[in-house]
Amino acid sequence: MPLLVNLLGWIGAALMLYGYAMVSVSRMAGDGMPYQTINLVGAIALMINTAYYSAWPSAILNVVWGVVGAAALTRMVMARFKKEPVSTP
């Protein structure tokens, strides 16, 4: 189990650093779905890792980070549904 948790931690950290780097060099939009998805998945992975090792300040930070990412993704998905034309039979 520790190997899986460590792997999740490294994957989460790599994802979040990748997203940050891509936004920093303007290769990805900070308000786009890819960036928000990367952040959400990275936060979940790091949340699992830090909670497993009882690193509670980091675990709580990643919970909040995940909630922010989930809220942003939800807002984006809802905006897409509102823009789609309603088809009538």
Q: Between 33-52 and 56-83, two packed helices, what is the crossing angle to 10 degrees? A: 150
Domain boundaries, the chain: 2-83
- Hunting for tokens 């090792």 — which residue is that? 53
Cβ count within 10 A of residue 43: 23
Taking the C-alpha atoms of residue 41 and residue 24, their distance in angstroms, rounded to an integer, is: 19
- Predicted pLDDT at 43: 96
Q: What is the mean pLDDT of residues 64-70?
A: 94
Contact yes or no for 50/58 (Cβ under 8 A): yes
Average pLDDT, the chain: 92
Q: What is the reported pLDDT for 87? A: 57
Mean pLDDT value of segment 64-76 = 93
**Angle 40-70-9 (CA atoms, 0-180°, nearest 5)?**
20
Q: What is the mean pLDDT of residues 17-44?
A: 96
Across 40-62, average pLDDT? 96
